Amino acid sequence: MPEAGRLIICATPIGNLGDVTLRVLEALKSADTVLAEDTRVTRKLFSRYLITTPLERYDEHTAVRRTPEVIERIRGGETIALVSDAGTPGISDPGSILVDAAIAADVLVDVLPGAAAVIAALVASGLPTWAFYFAGFLPRKAGDRTRLLASLAPLEATLIFYESPRRTGATLRGLAEAFPGRSGAMARELTKLHEEIVRGPLTELAEQISERELLKGEVVLLVGPPHWGRNAAPAPIEPVDASVVRARVAELMSEGTARTAAVKQVAKETGMSRQDVYDLASRP
């Protein structure tokens, strides 16, 4: 029996080549092969850290075709590491097909965590981190984009989007329209020489960024939650149907929640005051 191979998912820097972990460097050095999205990009990391492991291309165009062969090689005993051009493979990058196939084939998968633009941008934005929703790249078709944004509007979470610099101005205008009154941020070129984080009301961000002639680099856009205290203006609270409030309180109580706790929770869910929820729930 050959020794068991494994698949190692390696996070690499999103700009600054210093942002790589010791475990990742060790894994890249000792793997039999490293699969890379663009081998020219990964060679820069390799030359900085004197890594000479053979590199092969594995990108969005080759992922489906190459996956069965890669899994077979791991089953045959090879240790294969996967990297993307930047950050964590699988996060808006090739990787998840391979991980899924490895799990289905009972192949060992190690994930070595590290940089991901979504996390760096969220923390740098100063927006709430207690709940966040990463939506990746927005759909290109206007209708799909509008539907998606509408579905995200009620979420009490910071929303995070990846975007190309070319579309950033237009996307910010779309976000300002879809999420009136909310604050947001743009994080550009994180960890790089020209890193920039702009924070403020979405309307102001949209205006400020649209005025720029040419926006360069890589961009993450963020939108604060609807009822966050530091929004430009409090988000309009939708009028809530009294029967819905009563039914929700009754539902929570039937699940064993005490009346006061149920009222408190429904107040939180609807944005109503506890007194108003209590009054509605008490009415026959």
- For binding to ligand SAM (CB under 6 A), which residues are involved? 14-15, 84, 86-88, 91-93, 116-118, 162-164, 187-192, 218-220
Please report how close the Cβ of residue 41 comes to ligand SAM at its closest, in angstroms.
Answer: 11
Pairing of strands 158-163, 132-137: parallel
Contact 110, 180 (CB under 8 A): no
Please report how close the Cβ of residue 186 comes to ligand SAM at its closest, in angstroms.
Answer: 9
Position of minimal CB gap to ligand SAM: 87
Residue 115 or 263 with smaller CB distance to ligand SAM: 115
DSSP characters for 217-241? S-EEEEE--TT-TTSSSPPPPPP--
Residue 78 or 189 with smaller CB distance to ligand SAM: 189
Please report how close the Cβ of residue 217 comes to ligand SAM at its closest, in angstroms.
Answer: 7
| Cα–Cα distance measured from residue 182 to residue 40, given in angstroms and rounded to the nearest whole number | 41
Long-range pairs for 190-195 at CB < 8 Å and ≥24 separation? 190/14, 190/15, 190/117, 190/120, 190/121, 190/124, 190/218, 190/220, 191/13, 191/14, 191/15, 191/16, 191/19, 191/115, 191/120, 192/15, 192/16, 192/217, 195/15
Nearby residues of 217 by Cβ (< 8 Å), 6 or more positions away:
165, 188, 189, 192, 194
Residue 13 or 225 with smaller CB distance to ligand SAM: 13
Please report how close the Cβ of residue 257 comes to ligand SAM at its closest, in angstroms.
Answer: 39
Residue 71 or 160 with smaller CB distance to ligand SAM: 160
Amino acid found at 214? L
Burial-class residue 85 by CB neighbours within 10 Å (0-12, 13-18, 19+). middle
Please report how close the Cβ of residue 201 comes to ligand SAM at its closest, in angstroms.
Answer: 21
Residue 8 or 235 with smaller CB distance to ligand SAM: 8
Residue 89 or 226 with smaller CB distance to ligand SAM: 89
Please report how close the Cβ of residue 154 comes to ligand SAM at its closest, in angstroms.
Answer: 25
